[in-house]
Amino acid sequence: MFPLLLLVHIAGSIAAPAPKCALDNIDIKGGEYREVKGEDFMRVVYKCPEGLYAHPSNSRDCLYNGKWSNDKVKAECRAVECPRPVMFDNGVYYPRQKKYFIGDVLHFECWGGFEMFGPGNRTCQANGKWSGEVTKCDDKEGDCPNPGVPIGSTKVGTSYKIEGTVKYECQSGLRMFGSKERTCMENKRWSGAEPSCRFPFTFDTPTEVAEIFSSSLSETIEASDPDKLDKQSDRKIQVKKDGLMNIFIIIDSSKSVGPDNFKTAKEASIVFIEKMASFDFIPRYAVISYASYAKPIVRLSDDDSTDADAVIERIRKFSYREHDDKMGTNTRGALIEVHGMLSLQNTNEPQKFLETRNVILLMTDGKHNMGGDPVVEMKKIRELLDIRKNNNREDFLDVYVFGLGEDISENEINDIASKKDPEKHVFKMESVDHMKEAFDEMLDEAEVLQMCGLSKDPSKGEEGVQEVYPWIAKITITRPGSEEKCKGSIVSRFFILTAAHCFHLDDSPQAVNVRVGDKALKVKNLHRHSKYNPAGKQDKKVEKSFDYDLALIELENKIEYSRKVRPICLPCTSATTWALKKRGQAVTCNDHKNTVLDSELVKAMFVAEETQNKFERMNVTIKRGDKRNACLEDTKKIEKFKDIPDITDAITENFLCTGGVQPYVDPQTCKGDSGGPLIVQYKQRYVQVGVISWGTINTCIGPKRKPEPVPALSRDFHTDLFHMLDWLEGNEHLAQELQFLK
């Protein structure tokens, strides 16, 4: 026995050499092919021009008998078709054709007495799907609405009374996603998910998936957003902010995946986790890789399973080679792991377990070939979560399945995935690259507008657009014969934070014009810091004191947040606790400070507008501790400040210092930048730590910086918000909006 075991082990760990197949006759009519070779496999992948698909399959694998898979038929590119309608309830459709190709339009009309729901026209799209939703004609006589007949299907059953059922079948050659059978439930909705019928060559595009997946996910995740409370949400229970959610990510690492695709699947998982991390909640992660056996990369019970960074790090480190047996696809094995981790959680924290939502993300490029039927295990997981008919616990499990490539079994992935009306949980995508693309696009920040310090990622191309710096406010003060420009930041729905020195004592709210995005806002009131007093230190030879250079502009009307207009995070507020991924009640203002100002040299930024309406990021370094002393010393060497006996009268404790050339050359702030935010980026979130106040040497030409480096002695000073909290909290209206930490 012993030697045999050893032998098996060795045999399993040595990769078989790649099989060899001849390339004669492998080409595709009307398209191109390329070879993909691995250590132990050989494949050709076909590519057809837009609007065509590769028949009979878009790749062929070299088999160990020296033959290509699917080699009975010569490969050719064929025109993409959309399914043909065979049945339509209570109305007519035209034109009637045997086949419908890209660009063909179907028109629908309802009979008298029936109202149309859905589009009157649908167009055949490039991926072989009809545009828009299923068109339905309804007389509203049933308890449930007419569930419709998706194009390509037939429906049996016409009772739309409670308990009534309808059954669907796809026409031959088409594959079904969604529910084969649906029942009209007591809540007058249909059970399950609307079916769809599609050709095997039809893949979901990244854009389609991004949209559908993220809207379904954000239904699940959506933290209590006051803006959305009045909106009708189909899913009633919301995740509490302290994130009672488990997220399982299951990655296929079987042999057919190949190292490159495995890497992309890992990257896609990381993108997904990063996107989740921008939400105001903290889920617990489990990551499982599977081939013949399942291997947990991160377990639910691991100490760091709520730490997105640690989870990402472990995914990065996990190598494709860690599966020594990649021959099998044991999907059930992966789900058994999920079940095991959930059972353990149930044992340890039974009460919390039942309140915790679960999201399973399963990626696969094939069908199971060992370990038994995964659907059986999914049933057990549902039992464990106590999900039964009519006990309203469906919300506690969402299973999303991503079938990648054409070797998947549509039936299998459809059976595993959740079926919830009106969402979709099963996707078939051309490749893992497309899935990653979809994750990149999804969970648009627009879904979570009330969250502070979020913005469009500038690496997505459009540096300079308003969406990248959506919290910047432009302020113009009009006085007889002159105009002054400042910047500010949106800190709440009713307040803009800026510098006190932008205003004169006699400026009226009407003289102040505030613009955010492309909207002008009406000003109700100006609040300058009560201790701001520019002439207050003249006895100490400080000609103009900027101490407490801070002001709040109170707005007449609430700001409507949008992608272009949203708030930045202010230190020591509860929203920022979330942005900084701090947990629990005990988080203090000091914790915030230690997180964002974590060293003597802190990377920070401000936003400049050297060309009108084109914002640019300016990286600067905040000097603290010993490094800040150099700011005082260098300032003393400048002519205008030489006569000040004690420089700390000008540069009080209330200022953050940037500028100069050590250790990096910092761009200078110029006139017009005043009042704008000094920002520290923390992961994907932006926290304002200062307000741009004054500088020691001005070499700007108006609002523009000179191309050459700043003088070595020059420094910029910013009102330190960590020192201004008393005054900010003292504004009752603002405190109400922001919930400052105790």
Q: What is the rounded CA–CA span in Å between residue 280 and residue 277?
A: 8
Contacts of 198 (CB under 8 A, 6+ apart): 83, 128, 129, 152, 174, 175, 177, 428
Closer of 33 and 100 to ligand NAG (Cβ)? 100
Closest among 119, 118, 86, 78 to 102, alpha carbons compared: 78
The catalytically annotated residue of 278, 674, 693, 714 is 674
Build a one-symbol-per-residue string for 87-126: x at contacts with ligand NAG by CB under 6 A, - elsewhere. Answer: --------------------x------------xx-----
Strand partners, 521: 514
Sheet holding 426-429, edge to edge: 294-298, 284-290, 245-252, 357-364, 397-404, 426-429
Least distance CB 103 / ligand NAG (angstroms): 12
Closer of 320 and 682 to ligand NAG (Cβ)? 682
Strand 284-290 to 245-252 pairing: parallel
Q: What is the rounded CA–CA span in Å between residue 601 and residue 666?
A: 12
Residue 529 a catalytic site member = no
* 3-class secondary-structure state, position 381: helix
Instruction: Give the tokens for residue 175.
Output: 């594959």
Contact yes or no for 416/361 (Cβ under 8 A) = no
Given phi > 0 = left and psi -120 to 50 = alpha, else beta, which region is 47? Answer: beta
Closer of 97 and 121 to ligand NAG (Cβ)? 121
Least distance CB 569 / ligand NAG (angstroms): 17
Least distance CB 95 / ligand NAG (angstroms): 11
Least distance CB 726 / ligand NAG (angstroms): 32
Instruction: Give the tokens for residue 53.
Output: 């698909």
ω into residue 85 within 30 of 0, thus cis? no
Closer of 252 and 673 to ligand NAG (Cβ)? 673
Q: What is the rounded CA–CA span in Å between residue 188 and residue 143?
A: 6
Closer of 132 and 259 to ligand NAG (Cβ)? 132
Contact yes or no for 337/294 (Cβ under 8 A) = yes
ω into residue 283 within 30 of 0, thus cis? no
Least distance CB 595 / ligand NAG (angstroms): 17
Q: According to CB under 6 A, which one of 228, 563, 617, 628 is a site residue for ligand NAG?
A: 617
Report how many residues bind ligand NAG under the rule CB under 6 A: 5
The catalytically annotated residue of 425, 501, 592, 718 is 501
How far is residue 288 from each of residues 259, 337, 407, 678, measured CA to CA in Å?
A: 16, 8, 21, 41
Instruction: Give the tokens for residue 592.
Output: 């915030």
Nearest residue to ligand NAG by CB is 120
Least distance CB 678 / ligand NAG (angstroms): 14
Site for ligand NAG contains 594 (CB under 6 A): no
Least distance CB 609 / ligand NAG (angstroms): 15
Residue 674 a catalytic site member = yes
Q: What is the rounded CA–CA span in Å between residue 76 and residue 58?
A: 10
**Three-class DSSP labels, 50-85:** CCEEEECCCEEEECCCCCECCCCCCCEEEECEECCC
Residue 549 a catalytic site member = yes
Contact yes or no for 566/469 (Cβ under 8 A) = no
Binding to ligand NAG, residues 120-179 (CB under 6 A): 120-121
Closer of 130 and 727 to ligand NAG (Cβ)? 130
Instruction: Give the tokens for residue 591.
Output: 């914790």
Q: According to CB under 6 A, which one of 97, 390, 478, 619 is a site residue for ligand NAG?
A: 619
Least distance CB 99 / ligand NAG (angstroms): 20
Closest among 252, 247, 273, 274 to 263, alpha carbons compared: 252
DSSP letter for 22, please. -
Least distance CB 601 / ligand NAG (angstroms): 13
Closer of 133 and 225 to ligand NAG (Cβ)? 133
Closer of 107 and 479 to ligand NAG (Cβ)? 107
Closer of 533 and 619 to ligand NAG (Cβ)? 619
The catalytically annotated residue of 547, 549, 716, 720 is 549
Contacts of 201 (CB under 8 A, 6+ apart): 53, 54, 55, 58, 80, 128, 406
Least distance CB 683 / ligand NAG (angstroms): 11
Helices assigned H by DSSP within 358-511? 374-384, 410-416, 432-441
Closer of 80 and 468 to ligand NAG (Cβ)? 468
Closer of 107 and 161 to ligand NAG (Cβ)? 107
Least distance CB 480 / ligand NAG (angstroms): 39
Closest among 501, 588, 500 to 550, alpha carbons compared: 500
Interface contacts to ligand NAG, rule CB under 6 A:
107, 120-121, 617, 619
Q: Which residues are catalytic?
A: 501, 549, 674
